[in-house]
Amino acid sequence: MSIKLGCIADDFTGATDLANNLVRAGMSAVQTIGVPGGSLRADADAVVVALKTRSLPADEAVAQSLAALAWLRAQGAEQIYFKYCSTFDSTPQGNIGPVTDALMARLGTDFTIATPAFPDNKRTVFKGYLFVGDVLLNESGMQHHPLTPMTDPNLLRVLAAQTRRKVGLIDHAVVARGSAAIRERIAALRAEGVEIAIVDAVSNDDLLVLGPALKGMPLVTAGSGVAIGLPANWGLAPGSAKAPARVAGAQAVVAGSCSAATNGQVAAFIASGRPALALDPLRIAAGEDVAGEALAWARPLLASGPVLLYSTAAPDSVRQTQGALGAERAGALIEAEIARIARGLVELGVRQLIVAGGETSGAVVQALGLEQIAIGEQIDPGVPWCSGHAAAVDADISIALKSGNFGATDFFLKAFAQG
């Protein structure tokens, strides 16, 4: 079993986003949580190793990325894709530049591209400047990001500050002339000593034109958008990926996200008349057996349809809880309790589980012992059904990991109704 495309993602939900784009463009894909100890379990065209390296010190991010590279090469990966955020989240210290430098050196290559363009999510690059919707990156709110404030929208400058390699541009005039023109421009840039080229792209058509020009390039670095143009290089077309079937069994949602979209989804589920149980953070903090009570509540209900267990709350209530417990402690306590509940639900026979919240998903996946998940059908943009083996419970399950602000209001019931 040898894979075609080996991907290294610098965060967890970004990995799912990339895997989802690959599947939609025709590749079967597996996502691993960190670098696996053993070899790949399922057959797949692409593997996305999900790391959490975006905000680590650069040397740690490099070390983890190189470990992922070694594992992917051992699985036979023909091309490597380094995935970062479509808002190019980084600082002058890294980690996009240092990780790119290290991957290029290890792969023995002297040229790659870098483009965060993701037109489906309104991220476009023109003349090397990154736009989010109608405004430049540094006017998009990203200039206030707590960890990676983006105050310069010029990607050539941003990247040049992080790499010792020469950075150049493949601008839109070239992209508009097609794949052959991009290849010529790459040859010209190489002759000038450029080793990393920012690529303009303002539409999916641009990314589909870029794809063939990247055929055979040992390393591609990008957001998730560039992925839509790559499967065709292996003769794969949209619809050709075999998606794993949904596992049959009881259905449940656990929600630890307090984002606006999740609040709306929880309200819609409750309004539908389905059973829902609120989890009280203060009782969790007081050491009461909230998970045990929740599982006793759910047990008799599971035979008659999906149930929801949630700590999701409105901003006022979250602030109150954080005031009483501290934001970090409240977060960690609730994540751990929801992870216990998720594990208990699978022990009770739940085989279709939706988890709402990025951090919450991390805790649940860990508690279930899920190391490799195969990407299935999309529910809403960025959120597919996945399936994998929950080693902690020794059960195969289907699971959907929903980033807090993703999904339509009817996401939960729509997901279960699908298929």
For ligand ADP, how many residues bind (rule: CB under 6 A)? 21
Of the pair 384, 404, the CB lying nearest ligand ADP is at 404
Q: Specify the residue, 94 or 358, whose C-beta has the smaller distance to ligand ADP.
A: 358
Q: Which residues pair with 384 in a beta bridge?
A: 378
∠ CA 154-157-161, nearest 5°, is: 140
For the stretch 204-207, contacts whose Cβ atoms lie closer than 8 Å and that sit 24 or more positions apart, written own/partner, are: 204/119, 204/120, 204/228, 206/117, 206/119, 206/172, 206/175, 206/176, 207/117, 207/119
How do 167-170 and 196-199 pair as beta strands?
parallel
Q: Among residues 223, 249, 256, 384, which is the contact residue for ligand ADP, using CB under 6 A?
A: 256
Rounded to the nearest whole angstrom, what is the least distance from the CB of residue 14 to ligand ADP in the complex? 12
Residue 350 CB, shortest distance to ligand ADP, in Å, is 19
**Comparison of 17 and 45: residue with beta carbon closer to ligand ADP:** 17
Pick one of 28, 259, 263, 387: the residue that binds ligand ADP (CB under 6 A): 259
Of 198 and 365, CB closest to ligand ADP: 365
334 and 341 Cβ atoms separated by less than 8 Å = no
Closer residue to ligand ADP, CB minimum distance, 69 or 401: 401
Q: Find out whether 374 and 30 touch, Cβ atoms under 8 Å.
A: yes
Q: How far is the CB of 394 from ligand ADP (least distance, A)?
A: 26
Which residue in 86, 91, 112, 403 binds ligand ADP (CB under 6 A)? 403
Find the binding residues for ligand ADP in span 345-384 (CB under 6 A). Answer: 357-360
| Of residues 119-158, those binding ligand ADP (CB under 6 A) | none
- Residue type for position 374: A
CB contact set of 258 (below 8 Å; sequence gap of 6+): 311, 312, 313, 314, 315, 318, 404
Nearer to ligand ADP, 361 or 398 (CB): 361
CB of 330 vs ligand ADP, minimal distance in Å = 4
Q: How far is the CB of 147 from ligand ADP (least distance, A)?
A: 14
Does residue 404 belong to the site contacting ligand ADP (CB under 6 A)?
Answer: yes
DSSP string, 44-71: -SEEEEE---TTS-HHHHHHHHHHHHHH
Of 49, 37, 38, 58, nearest to 12 by C-alpha is 49
Q: Which is nearer to ligand ADP, 194 or 285 (CB)?
A: 285
Closest CB to ligand ADP belongs to which residue?
404
386: Cβ contacts below 8 Å, ≥ 6 apart: 16, 31, 244, 373, 374, 375, 376, 398, 399, 400, 401
Q: How many residues does the chain have?
A: 419
Q: Are strands 112-115 and 196-199 parallel, antiparallel or unpaired?
A: parallel
Q: Is residue 16 part of the contact set for ligand ADP (CB under 6 A)?
A: no
**Complex with ligand ADP: residue 189 or 365, whichever CB lies closer:** 365
> What are residue 307's phi and psi, to 5 degrees?
-120, 160
CB nearer to ligand ADP: pick between 148 and 204: 148
Map the footprint of ligand ADP across residues 82-101, applying CB under 6 A.
Answer: none
Asked whether the beta carbons of 277 and 309 are under 8 A apart, the reply is: yes
Smallest distance from the beta carbon of 121 to ligand ADP, in angstroms? 16
Helix H or strand E segment including 112: strand 112-115
Instruction: Answer positive or negative: Cα dihedral of 81, 83, 88, 92.
Output: negative
In the stretch 190-229, what mask flags binding to ligand ADP with x, by CB under 6 A?
Answer: ----------------------------------------
For residue 38, how many other CB atoms are within 10 A of its CB?
Answer: 8
How far apart are alpha carbons 96 and 419 in whole angstroms? 38
Using the minimum distance from each CB to ligand ADP, give the nearer residue, 113 or 142: 142
Contact letters for ligand ADP, residues 301-340 (x by CB under 6 A)? ----------x-x----x--xx-------xx--xx-----
Rule CB under 6 A: say whether 244 interacts with ligand ADP. no
The count of other CB atoms within 10 Å of the CB of residue 172 is: 18
In whole angstroms, the minimum distance from the beta carbon of 134 to ligand ADP comes to 25
Binding site for ligand ADP (CB under 6 A): 256-259, 262, 281, 311, 313, 318, 321-322, 330-331, 334-335, 357-360, 403-404
